[in-house]
Chain A
Amino acid sequence: MADRSGVPLTGKAVFDEELYGGAEPITGFAAVAQDVEEDEVDEREAAVASKLASYTAPKSVMADLPMQEDGDDDGLLQSRRIVDRESEYSRRRLNRIISPDRNDAFQMGDKTPDARVRTYADVMREAQLARERDNTMKNIADKRKAEQEAREAELAALDAVPTKASGMAPAAPPAGSAAAAAAAAKPGGKRSRWDSSAPIEAKKAKPASEWDAVEATPAVNRWDATPGQAPSETPGRIWSGGEATPAGGSRWDAAEPGAAAQPKRNRWDATPTPGHGFGAGPSETPAAGKRSRWDATPAMAAGGATPAYGGAMGATPAWGAATPAGGLGMETPTPGMLAAQQAAMGVPMTPEAYQQAKVEREMDERNRPLSDEELDAMLPGASEGYKILSEPPGYEPIRTPARKLMATPTPFGGTPLYQIPEEDRAQAYDVPQQLEGLPEMKPEDQQYFGKLLKDVDESELTVEEAKERKIMKLLLKVKNGTPPQRKSALRQLTDKARDFGAGPLFNQILPLLMSPTLEDQERHLLVKVIDRVLFKLDELVRPYCHKILVVIEPLLIDEDYYARVEGREIIANLAKAAGLATMIAAMRPDIDNVDEYVRNTTARAFSVVASALGIPALLPFLKAVCQSKKSWQARHTGIKIVQQIAILMGCAVLPHLKSLVDIVKHGLQDENQKVKTITALTISALAEASAPYGIESFDDVLEPLWKGIRLLRGKVLAAFLKAIGFIIPLMDAMYANYYTREVMVILIREFQTPDEEMKKIVLKVVKQCVGTEGVEPEYIRTEILPEFFKHFWVRRMALDRRNYRALVETTVEIAGKVGCSEIVGRVVEDLKDESEPYRKMVMETCDKVVRALGTADIDARLEELLIDGILYAYQEQLADESPVVLNGFGTVINGLGQRAKPYLPQICGTIKWRLNNKSAKIRQQAADLISRIAPVMKKCDEEKLLAHLGVVLYENLGEEYPEVLGSILGALKAIVAVIGMTRMTPPIKDLLPRLTPILKNRHEKVQENCIDLVGRIADRGAEFVPAREWMRICFELLDMLKAHKKAIRRATVNTFGYIAKAIGPQDVLVTLLNNLKVQERQNRVCTTVAIAIVAETCAPFTVLPALMNEYKVPELNVQNGVLKALSFLFEYIGEMGKDYIYSVVPVLEDALMDRDLVHRQTACAVVQHMSMGVAGLGCEDALTHLLNYVFPNIFEVSPHIIQTTTGAIEGCRVALGPAVILNYVLQGLFHPARKVREVYWRLYNNVYIGAQDSLVACYPRFEDDGINSFRRHELDVFI
């Protein structure tokens, strides 16, 4: 930046940090995520919550802007990349660094480790340092905050004084005052510590007494501490071995605005401090001395903070040199920044960045403001009677911050709209290069696989290089290849894992997994590679344990279930391969890491280790960690590990419950709130996992818990209540009663909490307490109910889905104790509430309560109120999808039974009226209601009313809306079902012909209800309809065999059976047999099922002759259809089949000798079903005969026929006994050809598994062989 005193006229646009927010939201984000995480209850909730937080907060949206732009550039397609769907919290995984290899203590033996190797001690020391630094920072920030607050008053006075700074720069005037305003308004507590630095520095001009504080600013340290990271070519950030902490990376970058403001204090020093790393930097500019306090913020800080970030770098090479480029690279690269950065450093851009920069430039160009000439050309001018108005006086163009931020400065001069790509063969960015025998490489892959593009002579490579190249090729194949390529590459990687060695493998795989452009599928594949390789490498992975964990741990909190499972599996395998000691050594330093994200994932990983290696192995370690005196973080994480173990392992914690509770119990008295909270949550998780056992293990925590709830407030209290809620159900009745009374006082107090989370927990705890045995109804009635209804049964509760559900569940639980009428009586008035969601909630509660408890204790008055309310709710409901009101209506009416009689006429009147309503939804609801209350109407002897409704429905069969028509048919079905065929009005003979055309309707709901109705009529009242009509229906039904819905096909097939029974099978059978000739497979299959069903309902002898006759048709489909029908037939008729076996044997003989595979296959299926049906019924001769035909098929290769052949042989084993099959099988068990033996042993094993015991008597006799005695003398014993 050339001139720091103002906004430059040319070059980059510069924004006021104070006004436009600068980089602060980035840190603001972290704070949000952390808070959310702390009170997370389970990971799904956390995911949802953190997402919500990032969408709602306007500040965070601001911070997200660069990110979103990034996404847009990729095109309009839905991105499949993981980063794009991740929450901000999960994205913190990218901040982690793959640490260097660690020493494997087991390999070293007694030797002292090499100084260059990182040992456990080194890592621990680094973690310690990081923590101390974090503490120091926090103290400093606290101190500053205090100072700032002290200065607020002073400043207020100064605000009134006008300065001439307002004239300094065109953009500055609003900025100056806004900066002051913002500084004054800022409460300090809200912001995170980093962003507070800028405003403070801005005000530093005044009090000289603040000198010490200035000296104490962490800026200097910060620079020293910045990781000395070389700009590595991969953004995968392998740590190149600097001394500083691995965790700090991005934080230091975020701190830059503060640091950037630093030089201002040099005004007071007069000389720049060399230690700053700015060199002869900005502090020497003459402008710095002139500036007043008000302009202190703009240009300078903007360089560091706004999206022009990278731009600033480009402009001032000094910056580029001073700022460790490695640190910069760690930021998620925004296109502009990348481009500028690379341009500044003279690095050729990656194709990705190039592409993005190009798109960006084009966007800018296309969206630039129109010039006057262009406007003149577009709009009609003065010649046509128009005139150009001048802008009104005082007009200022709107420059909203958002729009300004969007207007990314064009990084390069000149804006080519479209350029013909240069013919530069050396660097073809746009065309993905393809290598011989390798899959396509995406642009973003080039940084990892770029080496493959270079032409090298394989023979000149060293062994190491060759290995690296080989691994690279295989990985590329796994990542981008076709399935076969992938498969073989995966196999090679697995097979050669030990040859390649752990180092070279992981050094390539892990950076790939950290790549920000990774997609789900790619991650899955790479994780699979790790999994396979782990098995092979076994103890060789030890030095890489931590690296792998860094990459895999984020999977444990992924929103995708399968990713979580995958992560768990890998970590479990890793634990088994590396051993407990190594795992602990690798993860111990992360336990008290300063970053909450790292601790969270580490805790989860530890719980997986516990489940893999057993809880007892981990107990001593956990005990030590949970009692750590050094840092609360360690205790927090230790306790969290126990929580995660409980969540992960469920009731498997029971054997160790006592020790686990002992380990965490002291956390309840910890001085740190967070530790207290997590301890309570852990105890609730343990209690939940061990329910209903293990109360004795919780003895020690009862007292602190109950004491705690009296003393605590807020989040901690919520956690404590939650723990109590889960412990009470484990107690004996007596204790439960006592403790419930104790806690109820607090719960009732918390009923009025405004905190949503607390509300949910309170509801849950009330539910748990009330559900416990020892709590008496009277107590609930007098103590809990009044307050409960006062605070929870309000409209607001119905608006949030989760509150709604919790409230209904709790109320139903209470009703279980105090009885139906108590609860219904309290809510019944609200059925007439004006808020629909609230009415629904009331309705659902009534529904569930009545369903659970019946209506016995509802008195006449309440009954009236209830029906009245329900009718009101039913009539008032807007047409929506949810069936809540309908269900409630049905349940209550059915619950009342005969008591509903007086209300039925009124209800029916309403229904009739609504059946003619204009709105389709209302008509549908009316029809649905009829089907629900029809049984009750019958019970109340309201047959006349029912019949009348039947007529009304019949008249409505012309309905156009399929949904409504379906419901009407359903209602008719319900009426027919209760009043029977004979008394149905309209009479069946009128009704059915009306239904036939409806069968043609293609809507699934209509089809299903219609076919059900027709089927029922065919079943019960077929005689009312002439046979001709039934035949017509048969033809219609054939079409329905193609339906997608299985229920429809099944109903259709059954209907064929009923019709055949009604009018005799001949005609129906002819129709069906003809249908076997159609092409469509599903249709044929359904037809065969129908034939089998007809045969079953009308006895097989009426069908078999025609069926076997059809086998003569020389057409493959027909013959197979016949066989298939036989197969179903024998399956359905079971042991009735014994009378028909001999008649079908000739057909089966023929089929089993057919050349066509499917013939034999289907015939085998027939044999299987037949033999199973007739086992033990004396048909052995026929079955043995058929088995002789089946047996040669064992050598077939197609899986289907193998399966059916095996099935047939198994069936014969059941029918003929295992001895027969054993004798068949013995022929080939020791055949000289292995292929033959394979088949025979498979059959032998089947027989063996099926009839192990009975085979004992049938084995052949063996003679002793040398020292081996094979004879079974025991079988020769006789008395």
Chain B
Amino acid sequence: MASLSDRFNINAQLEHLQAKYVGTGHPDINRFEWNLNIKRDTYASLIGHQALAAYHAIAENESIGRVKYNFLQNMLLPCGLPPEKEEE
């Protein structure tokens, strides 16, 4: 009994901690939301690592700034519009 409520507490604490970060998931997350996070993380990583940005710049024959700008724009709706209903 006690341990059960404790467990609730400790998990609640952990979840509280995790909820502070954008991009963490939860048991009821759907494919779209998870992928949204993954894609944004990916773009953020590509923008953040100068070497990766340079690599893409060469591959796409664009300036590094342009590549970064494009990635940044892509972060807006990386997976397209969210699905309409699902649960409803």
A interface residues with partner B (beta carbon < 8 Å): 1197-1199, 1202-1203, 1206, 1229, 1234, 1237-1238, 1241-1242, 1244-1246, 1248-1249, 1252-1253, 1255-1256, 1259, 1262, 1265-1270, 1272, 1274-1275, 1277-1279
Contact among B3, B23, B39 for A1252, CB-based, below 8 A: B23
B73 in the interface (beta carbon within 8 A): no
Nearest-CB distance from A181 to chain B (Å)? 72
Residue pair A1198, B3 in contact (C-beta under 8 Å): yes
Residue pair A1278, B6 in contact (C-beta under 8 Å): no
Residue pair A1278, B59 in contact (C-beta under 8 Å): yes
Residue pair A1249, B7 in contact (C-beta under 8 Å): no
Nearest-CB distance from A610 to chain B (Å)? 29
**CB-based nearest A residue for B46:** A1274
Residue pair B45, A1277 in contact (C-beta under 8 Å): no
* Bound-complex Cα distance A1269 to B11 (A): 34
* Bound-complex Cα distance A1035 to B67 (A): 72
Contact among B18, B21, B59 for A1242, CB-based, below 8 A: B18
- Beyond A1199-B9, A1242-B15, 17 additional contacts (C-beta under 8 Å) are A1197-B3, A1199-B3, A1202-B10, A1229-B25, A1234-B27, A1241-B29, A1244-B25, A1248-B24, A1249-B18, A1252-B41, A1256-B42, A1266-B83, A1267-B80, A1267-B81, A1268-B81, A1272-B39, A1275-B42
* Bound-complex Cα distance A694 to B87 (A): 57
Q: Interface readout for B14-47 with A: 1 if CB under 8 Å, 0 if not?
A: 1100100101111111011001001101110110
* Bound-complex Cα distance A1034 to B26 (A): 54
Within 8 A of A (CB), among B49-84: 55-56, 58-60, 71, 78-81, 83
Residue pair B21, A1249 in contact (C-beta under 8 Å): yes
Nearest-CB distance from B59 to chain A (Å)? 5
**CB-based nearest B residue for A1267:** B80
Nearest-CB distance from A1260 to chain B (Å)? 9
Contact among B3, B7, B28, B56 for A1274, CB-based, below 8 A: B56
Total CB contacts across the A-B interface at under 8 A = 92
Residue pair B3, A1259 in contact (C-beta under 8 Å): no
Nearest-CB distance from A1087 to chain B (Å)? 27
22 A-B residue pairings within 8 Å (CB atoms): A1197-B3, A1198-B7, A1199-B6, A1199-B9, A1202-B10, A1241-B25, A1241-B26, A1242-B15, A1242-B18, A1248-B21, A1248-B25, A1256-B42, A1262-B35, A1267-B81, A1268-B32, A1269-B79, A1272-B42, A1274-B56, A1275-B42, A1277-B56, A1277-B60, A1279-B58
Contact among A1206, A1253, A1259 for B48, CB-based, below 8 A: A1253
**CB-based nearest B residue for A1275:** B42
Residue pair A1265, B31 in contact (C-beta under 8 Å): yes
Contact among B45, B55, B80 for A1269, CB-based, below 8 A: B80
Cβ–Cβ < 8 Å partners of A1269 in chain B = 78-80
Residue pair A1272, B79 in contact (C-beta under 8 Å): no
* Bound-complex Cα distance A1244 to B37 (A): 13
Residue pair B60, A1203 in contact (C-beta under 8 Å): no
Cβ–Cβ < 8 Å partners of A1268 in chain B = 32, 35, 79-81, 83
* Bound-complex Cα distance A1255 to B31 (A): 17
Residue pair A1270, B59 in contact (C-beta under 8 Å): no
Cβ–Cβ < 8 Å partners of B10 in chain A = 1199, 1202-1203
Cβ–Cβ < 8 Å partners of A1241 in chain B = 25-27, 29
B interface residues with partner A (beta carbon < 8 Å): 3-4, 6-7, 9-11, 14-15, 18, 21, 23-29, 31-32, 35, 38-39, 41-43, 45-46, 48, 55-56, 58-60, 71, 78-81, 83
Nearest-CB distance from A1222 to chain B (Å)? 11
Task: Give the 6 A-B CB pairs with smallest separation, nearest first.
Answer: A1237-B27, A1245-B18, A1245-B24, A1256-B45, A1199-B10, A1270-B35
Residue pair A1255, B81 in contact (C-beta under 8 Å): no
* Bound-complex Cα distance A1229 to B34 (A): 11
Nearest-CB distance from A11 to chain B (Å)? 64
* Bound-complex Cα distance A176 to B47 (A): 98
Nearest-CB distance from A1273 to chain B (Å)? 10
Cβ–Cβ < 8 Å partners of A1255 in chain B = 41
Nearest-CB distance from B66 to chain A (Å)? 14
Residue pair A1274, B42 in contact (C-beta under 8 Å): yes
Nearest-CB distance from B75 to chain A (Å)? 12
Nearest-CB distance from A1272 to chain B (Å)? 5
Q: Given A1277-B56, A1277-B60, A1272 and B38 touching (CB < 8 A)?
A: yes
Residue pair A1248, B23 in contact (C-beta under 8 Å): yes
**CB-based nearest B residue for A1235:** B27
Q: Given A1245-B24, A1246-B18, A1279-B58, A1197 and B7 touching (CB < 8 A)?
A: yes
Q: Given A1241-B29, A1267-B80, A1268-B83, A1253 and B45 touching (CB < 8 A)?
A: yes
Nearest-CB distance from A1197 to chain B (Å)? 6
Cβ–Cβ < 8 Å partners of B11 in chain A = 1202, 1242
Nearest-CB distance from A915 to chain B (Å)? 56
Cβ–Cβ < 8 Å partners of A1203 in chain B = 10
**CB-based nearest B residue for A1257:** B45
Contact among A1237, A1242, A1266, A1275 for B14, CB-based, below 8 A: A1242
Cβ–Cβ < 8 Å partners of A1262 in chain B = 31, 35, 38
* Bound-complex Cα distance A1203 to B46 (A): 34
* Bound-complex Cα distance A1262 to B79 (A): 11
Contact among B4, B6, B24 for A1249, CB-based, below 8 A: B24
Cβ–Cβ < 8 Å partners of B60 in chain A = 1277
Nearest-CB distance from B62 to chain A (Å)? 12
Contact among B4, B26, B42 for A1197, CB-based, below 8 A: B4
Cβ–Cβ < 8 Å partners of B21 in chain A = 1245, 1248-1249
Cβ–Cβ < 8 Å partners of A1277 in chain B = 55-56, 59-60
Residue pair A1279, B3 in contact (C-beta under 8 Å): no
**CB-based nearest A residue for B83:** A1268
**CB-based nearest A residue for B15:** A1242
Cβ–Cβ < 8 Å partners of B58 in chain A = 1279
* Bound-complex Cα distance A1248 to B44 (A): 14
Task: Name the residue among A1199, A1203, A1234, A1272 with the largest chain B CB count within 10 angstroms.
Answer: A1199
Nearest-CB distance from A482 to chain B (Å)? 16
Cβ–Cβ < 8 Å partners of B55 in chain A = 1277, 1279
**CB-based nearest B residue for A1249:** B21
Task: Name the residue among A1238, A1270, A1272, A1274 with the largest chain B CB count within 10 angstroms.
Answer: A1274
Cβ–Cβ < 8 Å partners of B56 in chain A = 1274, 1277
Nearest-CB distance from A930 to chain B (Å)? 51
Cβ–Cβ < 8 Å partners of B27 in chain A = 1234, 1237-1238, 1241
**CB-based nearest A residue for B10:** A1199
Task: Name the residue among A1234, A1248, A1253, A1268 with the largest chain B CB count within 10 angstroms.
Answer: A1268
**CB-based nearest A residue for B21:** A1249
Cβ–Cβ < 8 Å partners of A1244 in chain B = 24-25
* Bound-complex Cα distance A1156 to B14 (A): 25
Nearest-CB distance from B64 to chain A (Å)? 14
* Bound-complex Cα distance A1259 to B38 (A): 8
Cβ–Cβ < 8 Å partners of B28 in chain A = 1234
**CB-based nearest A residue for B41:** A1256
**CB-based nearest B residue for A1253:** B45
Nearest-CB distance from B25 to chain A (Å)? 5
* Bound-complex Cα distance A1264 to B83 (A): 13
* Bound-complex Cα distance A1259 to B32 (A): 14
Cβ–Cβ < 8 Å partners of A1234 in chain B = 27-28
Cβ–Cβ < 8 Å partners of A1278 in chain B = 59
Nearest-CB distance from A1109 to chain B (Å)? 34
**CB-based nearest B residue for A1236:** B27
**CB-based nearest B residue for A1206:** B14
* Bound-complex Cα distance A1238 to B79 (A): 25
**CB-based nearest A residue for B26:** A1241
* Bound-complex Cα distance A1242 to B7 (A): 13
**CB-based nearest B residue for A1197:** B7
* Bound-complex Cα distance A1234 to B81 (A): 27
* Bound-complex Cα distance A801 to B12 (A): 49
* Bound-complex Cα distance A1244 to B15 (A): 12
* Bound-complex Cα distance A1278 to B23 (A): 28
